[in-house]
Amino acid sequence: MKLHSPEFQRGLQRAVRRAIRASKELRKEYRRVRRSGGRRLPEEITRIAVTFIFLCGFVAATGGPAGFSVETGLAWIALWTFAAVFFYALQWTIYLVSHADIRAMRLLPVSDEVIFRWQFQRLIRYASKAYLDILIGFAVLGCLAHFTVWQWAPVPFIAALTWLTMLSLAALCATRLPAKLCRRLLSGMLIPLFIAILVMAGSHNFLRPWLAQAAPTINLVLPTGWAASLFRGLLPGRQPTFLLPLLPVILLIISAKDSLQRLRRSAEYREYLRPDAPDIFPDEEPGIVDEKGAQPARHAGPTEIEEIIETRRFMEIVPWAGRGWLERLLWNWLTPRERALGEFAFPKGYAITIPGLKIVRNLIVVGGVGFAARYIVSREVEFWIFGLGLIVVVGQVLNRLMGSGEAFRAMNLGGIKIPLHATFGIGYRELSGLLIKCTIVQILFYLPVLTLPAALCGAWFGLSWQSVMLCGLKLGLLALAGRFLLLTTSFSAGTNDTSRFRLSGILLLLIFVPCCAGLIALCIAGMVIPHPLVAELLCLAAIAAGWMLYRIYGWFYANGRFDLIAIQK
């Protein structure tokens, strides 16, 4: 699709070239833009290489080339693409409904249908990168299975079917599920999958029995595994039933037409007039006003405003220190300044005990249902229930450990997103010190509460309870190291200045990149190396590397030097 005249474009390009040749400043700026635009190809190559290494690491962790299992490899591709479904569900909504370019395209003399088709084509080009990832995944499986030339021929077609299934399911989720739920499901799958790979690489008998038994069920239950299961038809000794998953795959791809129609009806390319928001009263939840303004906004009168000010109700602090002994421990540890920052970062108070007990409740429910399924249904269903429950519980725990409240919430000011902490006189050390203390207190709670039941479950499945508890201890230490890295990147995402190529930027790059790479390498080594003492020392070294990264970036931050991470848009 073209939204312009080709003749006009060629004439404009010729005029621009003449203007650039006639100006020294424009030639310099043109060379700078070309250098920055040329970084896209290396980034794509790096992304594909990381994907290849990630898949090879998974296959090696599940037995290596000698004990390779096709079902396990297909199960990993199914899980991987199923997690990507929720990512592309968010991209469907962004590209077709709320993309920033739509605001500019409203000014063009084109219809809404043309804008929708233009954004749809951009999304397909963006999602084509995922096809390369899927094709690399099948290529790894084909290499390990020693495919012949004729066996390689249908592989691109199977990868295309898997890619179309992923996009169709993503469009279905974009129209039926809220965006907040998609974001939670995405983070709840990616993080546990990455942790599971590290655990399997380090513990030779941990989680492998579950994967070996759950792989056929994963390929059968997950929709993305239906198209990937067609790969079995390329192997020797195939059965005619391998074509059965093709029918639901075709139906799912056909359903994409209805999902696109729903997205088209929800995309109204016009200026949105926000209704009047109600006043927020102390000790009350804010009112909700829908887009059509069905609920009238409640506003306080002069008398009520005077009463709120005279009684100082608007200055009341939520007494979260009395919610439990963990909150009281954290409150006594904080300085007066950090308590004031806690009111800023967590306006409704900080809670540890109640969310922690809810997570323990979820763990007990998963354990009870899993043990009941073992005697009522089968052991394979038990493994499946424990696996899904582990993903949910680990995602909830990481969400609590890495939470920052409202401190880094982006605010749109004049077209630029600025983190909330930057609008107040809040320093790097004081805000990060508060969040680090919150993480440490929560680790003291979650480490014994979750490690002991995990050790009992490991003993139930015939695993060594010492290895399970050691793995939990290492995860707790690495969570603290990850907190240092997350704080650094959270601050750096809103404090960048990459418009000029300066010596300070080169110096920061030479320090920042090795520290990040060393931290990630120590985290991986701490989970992979089976020797207990060496693994614990590596985890402690990861904490030390994270602390050094946190201190080094703090020095640059305090002196007005900024890093090279991409700015928020």
CA distance 172 to 469: 41
Per the CB < 8 A criterion, the answer to whether 150 and 65 are in contact is no
At 288 the pLDDT is: 43
Q: How many residues does the chain have?
A: 569
Question: What are the φ and ψ backbone dihedral angles of 412, each rounded to 5 degrees?
Answer: -85, 110
Which residue, chain included where needed, has tokens 């399911």?
A: 169
Per the CB < 8 A criterion, the answer to whether 549 and 223 are in contact is no
Dump the DSSP string for 203-270: -TTSSHHHHHHHHHHHHHHSTHHHHHGGGGGGSTT--GGGGTTHHHHHHHHHTHHHHHHHHHHH---S
At 142 the pLDDT is: 82
At 448 the pLDDT is: 78
CA distance 470 to 476: 10
At 414 the pLDDT is: 62
Q: Which amino acid is at 380?
A: E
Q: pTM of the entire structure?
A: 0.61
CA distance 113 to 80: 33
At 169 the pLDDT is: 92
CA distance 277 to 287: 8
Q: Which residues contact 198 (CB under 8 A, 6 or more apart)?
A: 523, 524, 527, 528
Angle between helix axes 256-266 and 112-144 (nearest 10 degrees) is 140
What residue spans of 408-502 are helical by DSSP H? 428-460, 465-492
Question: What are the φ and ψ backbone dihedral angles of 206, each rounded to 5 degrees?
Answer: -100, 125
From the number of C-beta atoms within 10 Å of its C-beta (0-12, 13-18, 19+), residue 288 rates as exposed
Exposed e or buried b for every residue in 217-255, given b needs 16+ CB within 10 A? bbbeebbbbbbbbbbbbbeeeeeeeeeebeeebeebbee
Query: What does each C-alpha distance from 118 to 2, 4, 5, 99 come to in angstroms?
Result: 8, 12, 15, 12
Mean pLDDT by 10 residues, the chain (569 residues): 69 86 83 59 56 58 59 81 88 80 76 83 86 83 81 89 92 86 77 65 57 77 86 77 83 89 78 61 51 53 73 70 84 87 83 86 83 75 73 78 82 70 79 88 81 66 68 78 83 59 63 76 75 81 86 78 46
Which helix H or strand E contains 107, and what residues bound it? none
CA distance 19 to 27: 9
CA distance 387 to 189: 11
Exposed e or buried b for every residue in 532-556, given b needs 16+ CB within 10 A? eeebbebbebbbebbeebbeebbeb
